[in-house]
Structure 1
Amino acid sequence: MTIKRPLTLAVALLGLSLAVGGAVAQSRANVSDQPISIGAETGEYRSDGFSLRDKVEITQGGNRLRADAIEGQGGGGQISTITATGGVYYVTPTESIRGDRAVYTVSNATIVVTGNVILTQGRNVLTGSRLTYNVDSGAANMAGGSNGRIQGVFYPQKSGN
């Protein structure tokens, strides 16, 4: 369930904190254009993708995705989607996102994180059940949690800080 009005307010507040924090969204490079590096304790390559297990980490630009297991789908040396499960943790230079599962679609630079999602930016925190996040722009769209609502705590930026 997407809560439109509170979501709009929460995302607007998060966007405001981004703007106050130095116009981060305007200075982002396209992360999705960067090469994808992978690492894991064990892995398997297939003609249609790959499977990684144990201490899995994928990096692209300044962003990092960690999980218990990651599956990559694609063919011909191209990755189209990456699915991460178990202890998902996605970190950018300005945000961190935690959840139970994530699907990164390379073609539209979007990662969808589901299951007990926590988005953190500095001291600001937003929680819900589903987050759609654009890795290039930093735009976030959160859907409600178990009680049908998103929740957040936002700290105002004080002048001189």
Structure 2
Amino acid sequence: MTRPLTAAAIVLLAALGVPTLGDAQTAPNNADAPIAWSSDDVQYEGDTLTLIGRAELIQGQNRLRADRLAGFSQTSDSRMEATGNVYFVTPDQTIRGDRAVYTTGNDTIVVTGDVILTQGQNVATGSRLTYNTRTESARLEGGSNGRVQGVFYPSSTGN
């Protein structure tokens, strides 16, 4: 990798706001944590950095992984698109899907396809999950049969 590509990657990832991925679930210092990235190949063209093959971004305890991650830095609205075997993992939950788009302007990640959300033993499935990383609010929409499905395990109270 050449020096200009490294500089471009740092500037683009910083502009994308990747530090805000999952800030609400993790330690307050997560936004200051370094961003580690890896992939089998990397391409940089214009305002787009693309990580190809086992692409992964890690910051603090949060991870975004996919077959392909492409970041687009624009003045008012930067975004990261993930395609193929997408996983967004925080200390508390794992979101899996076929495709995801993270938009920094509204702190939202939208995961589509065969979506599976797990938190502990609890599991919910659907076709589209909209998750706000700042507020931790989520909306899961229906799967192949038009319905959201899940299994929840009650907490043990020790009584």
TM score, norm. by length of structure 2: 0.75
Alpha carbons of 1:120 and 1:66: their partners in 2 closer, same or farther (altered >3 Å)?
A: same
Identity of aligned pairs, percent? 55
Q: Following TM superposition, where does structure 1 have runs of at least 4 consecutive aligned residues deviating by more than 4 angstroms?
A: 25-28, 30-36
Match of 1:146 in 2: 144
Q: Whose RCO is larger (CA < 8 A, sep 6+)?
A: 1
Number of aligned residue pairs: give it.
136
Q: Distance in 2 between matches of 1:65 and 1:157?
A: 28
Alpha-carbon distance, 1:31 to partner? 5.8
Q: Secondary structure at 1:94's aligned position in 2?
A: coil
User: 8 Å contact 2:25–2:92 — kept in the other structure?
Assistant: no
Change (3 A) 1:75 1:28: same
> What residue number does 2:86 align with?
88
Deviations 1:9-60 (A, max 9, x none): xxxxxxxxxxxxxxxx687648667664422110011231211111100123
List gaps (5 residues or longer) in structure 1: 1-24
Match of residue 69 from structure 2:
70
Give the corresponding residue for 1:3. Answer: none
TM-score, normalised relative to structure 1: 0.74
**Residue 136 (str. 1) matches residue 134 (str. 2):** yes
The offset of 1:135, in angstroms, is 1.7
Q: CA deviation at 1:136?
A: 2.4
When the two chains are superposed, the root-mean-square deviation of aligned CA atoms in Å is 2.6
